[in-house]
Amino acid sequence: MIKKVLIANRGEIALRIARTLKRLSIPYCSIYSDADKNSLHVLLSDEAYYIGPPESIKSYLNMDKIIEIAIKSNSNAIHPGYGFLSENPEFAKKVKEAGLIFIGPSIESILLAGDKIMSKEIAKKVNVPILPSSPGINNFNDAEKYAREIGFPLMIKAAKGGGGKGMRIVYNKDELLEKYELASKEAESAFGDGTIYFEKYISKPRHIEVQIVADKYKNVLALGERECSIQRRHQKIIEESPSPYIDDRIREKLFESAINFARAINYENVGTVEFIFDENKNFYFLEMNTRLQVEHPITEWRYNIDLVEIQIKIANGEDISYLKNITPRGYSIEARIYAEDPMNGFIPSPGKIEFLIEPAGPYIRVDSGVYLGYEIPVYYDPMISKLIVYGNNRNEAISRIICALKEYRIFGVQTNIDYLIEIFSSEDFKSANYTTKFVEEFKYSQKKPTKILLDIANSINLNKKTIQQTQKTHSWKHKVSFWEI
C-alpha cells in the first residue's frame, strides 16, 4: 500500500498531484532544482528536497538522485506526473528495483507503447486501424524505398519520439534527403535514437484521444474522448470534451479500438490512446501515452472523478469496476496559458510576474503554477497555468471560457491569453470547423489593450516599490521545511 509519495515533477502538475494526496491524507514530498526553490509547488509543500542545478538533465531527469531522495525521505511510491521521466521504462525499472511503487503502468507496457513502430504492429493485430507506414529506418536507401511504397506526402516521425520532435512533412522526393537527415539528427538528440519511420500524411487531420483506465482485475474502461486538434508546433493548446466532430456511432468504435489496444499490451493505470481522423471521419491509431495527460481535467469534470486518485487506487491494487456506472455530463474545455509571444513564433517569455489576477467563479477551474512576484525560469516549458471550464453544452462552455480569459490580468511577461480569446471568439472554432492546421491558418489581430489594462499598467509603474514591499512581507500560511541530501 502507498504510505508516502515522492512527486517527481514540478509546476502545476506537481501541485495538482499534491492536492489529491492531501485530500486522501497521504503524506508526500516535493523536489526542486535551483531554478525552482521559490516555485509554488515547493512553497505549498510541507517537505521539499533539493534535486540539483536548473538543467533538467541534472535535476528532474536524474533518476538515481530521485530514487535516493525517495528512500531517504521514507517515501514508498513515486508519482512521475507528465513529461520528464513519466514514460521512461528505465526509470520505472529502477523504481521497482529499489522496492518502490511506480504510480503508473508496468515497464513492459511502457516499452510496448513507447516504441511507435511496435505499437502500430500491435494495433494492427487487434484490428485497430492504422495509417500506411514503414518499419524503422536507419539509412537513406531504405528511406527512398519506403517513400516510394507509401507515396507523397508523407510524415517522418521519430521511432522513440513524441512532442513533435523529429517530425517532418515531405511533399515530394526532392525534399526527402534533407528532411530525412534533419529528422534523424533531431530524434538522436532528443531521444538518444536516430531511428525514424514514415507514415502516410493526412492533409486536414483531426486529433482525438480516448482516456483509458485499467486495473489488475482486467477492467479496462474508456472514460470519454478529448478533441485536441488546435495545436502549435505539434503541441496542444486547446482541448475539449466531448469532440464536436464525431457522433455516437463513431464514438463507440473509437472506444472499442482504444480498449482493444490497451488490453493488447496488458495495460494497468491511467493512459491515453490517440487517434488521427481524416476528412471522411475515418480514424487511425497514432500512439498511446502511458501517463496522465496535461488535459486530464476536462475528463475529470465531465465524469466527476479525480484521475490522480484513480491512479493511486490502481497502484494500490484496488478494483475500479465501479467506474462503469458513471455517466458523463455536459461539456468541458481547457486552454493552456503560456508565457510566450504568439506574434513572434510563440517564443517563450520568461521573466518576473509583476501583477496577477486569475479568473474565478462558477464552473471555472485554474490549475496554476505561478503567483505574484514569481520569476518564470528559462529552463522549462513556458506553460504557467491551465484554465478549465464546464458548461451544460458547448456554447455555454465557450462563452464561459471567453469570460474567464478576459478576467486574467498578467503583467511582466507576455502571454497567449488574448490569442486564445480570439480563437474561442472565431466562427471557425464556434462551428467546430477546424483541423490541426488551424493555428497555421489563423489570423491573429493582437488587439490594443483596453483602458482598464492601461490603468493597471500605469498603476504598477507608479507604485512599483509598494508592490515589491508587498511581495517581501507576504507570509505563507504554514512553514515549509527545505531539505538537502
Check: CB of residue 160 under 8 Å from CB of residue 193.
Answer: yes
Check: CB of residue 333 under 8 Å from CB of residue 395.
Answer: no
Check: CB of residue 196 under 8 Å from CB of residue 180.
Answer: yes
Nearest CA to 436 out of 232, 165, 170 is that of 232
Burial letters for 385-399: b for 16+ Cβ neighbours within 10 Å, e otherwise?
bbbbbbbeebeebbe
**Marked catalytic residue, from 226, 291, 365, 400:** 291
At residue 123, the 3 state secondary structure works out as helix
Burial letters for 188-212: b for 16+ Cβ neighbours within 10 Å, e otherwise?
bebbebbbbbbbbbbeebbbbbbbb
- Length reported for the chain: 485
How far from the centroid of its chain's Cα atoms is residue 76's Cα?
26
Cell of 354: 509583476
Mark whether 249 is an active-site residue. no
Give dist(CA 357, CA 458) in Å, integer.
16
Active-site amino acid positions:
291
